[in-house]
Amino acid sequence: MARAAAKRVAAPVLELRGVSKRYGRALVLNKIDLSLAEHEVVCLIGASGSGKSTLLRCADLLEPIDAGSITLSGRAVHADDRDADTTRRQLGIVFQGFSLFPHLTALENVALAPRVALGLTAAAAEKRARALLKQLGLAAKANAYPDSLSGGQQQRVAIARALATEPKVLLLDEITSALDPVLVADVLEALRALAKSGATMLIATHEMAFAADVADRICYLEGGEIIEQGSPEKIFKTPRDPRTRAFLKRVRSVGASALR
């Protein structure tokens, strides 16, 4: 925990203030305040429909917000900005359903954004992509098409792809919930290694043991609000809010998978 305490001094990389989001009449995010310091790993937990995915998409500027502000490295950013594309390169997101590009090999999937969005030469982009695939244990799969990879391998390619623009923050949206239990371990292991190497991550997850292990801070979401946040120890052992307690009790009795 000394590590987490040291981090809190640093200025936030990503900061959400009073962020609200509506879909039609439904309020899916309600005045979210959340900030991530450099190297910090924050896990969002909560039942499906609690707003975790929407929060990540808004943070990635994929969805415009209805109220509040998002700041990236001290600069206010918005999905409707003229330079929102440039901003998105500083944020990496991995989706639950992988969304790899099926017409490109694993290597081409990872190299696309460096080449096209960052303007690297083809050789430099490929070099970066190879290094990332190696880092995620996929060096041998560089020339494979997504369809021939297992779910866990596909998801690791997606992580490599998200890292390829060297984002300041990596956003992960329940990236293990579409995977076989056997394959989940691979992906979580890759994330642990990333956390150790100092990546700043905001992770929506149903894997409580993983969250407890990897996170510096846990946020419990319900009804589009952050009900409670704190260190894993605090949230999992001594949650204050009765709603957090009820959620954790349900998770422990039925297992995380039942909440999806």
Partner 1 sequence: MTAARSARKGTLVAVISTLVVATLLAISIGSSPSWPLVQKAFFDGTYFSTSLPDVIGAFAINIQLFVLAEILILPIGLLIALARSITSPALAPLRIFATIYTDFFRGVPSILLIYVLGFGVPALRLPGVPSEPFFWALVTLVLIYSAYVSEVYRAGIESIHPSQERAARALGLTRFQALRFVVLPQALRRVVPPLLNDFIGLQKDTALVSILGVVEAFKQAQILKSANFNFTPLMVTAVIFLVITIPMTRLVDRLAAKDRAAQQGGTR
Which residues form the interface with partner 1 (CB under 8 A)?
60, 62, 85-93, 95, 97, 99-103, 105, 112-113, 116-118, 143-145, 147-148, 161-162, 164-165
**Closest distance of CB 23 from partner 1, Å:** 16
Closest to partner 1 by CB, 70 vs 226, is: 70
**Closest distance of CB 164 from partner 1, Å:** 8
Whether the CA torsion 191, 193, 196, 200 is positive or negative: it is: negative
**Closest distance of CB 204 from partner 1, Å:** 15
Residue 41 phi, psi (nearest 5) = -115, 120
d(CA 197, CA 187): 16
For the residues of 216-235, what is the DSSP string, one character each?
SEEEEEETTEEEEEE-HHHH
Burial of 161 from C-beta contacts in 10 A (0-12 / 13-18 / 19+): buried
The token duo for 152 is 């866990």
Closest to partner 1 by CB, 118 vs 124, is: 118
**18 in the Ramachandran plot: left (φ > 0), alpha (ψ -120 to 50) or beta?**
left
Closest to partner 1 by CB, 166 vs 233, is: 166
**Closest distance of CB 127 from partner 1, Å:** 18
Closest to partner 1 by CB, 149 vs 235, is: 149
**Closest distance of CB 178 from partner 1, Å:** 12
Beta bridge partners, 225, equal 222
The token duo for 210 is 């993983």
Closest to partner 1 by CB, 70 vs 113, is: 113
**Closest distance of CB 167 from partner 1, Å:** 9
d(CA 155, CA 180): 12
Closest to partner 1 by CB, 178 vs 212, is: 178
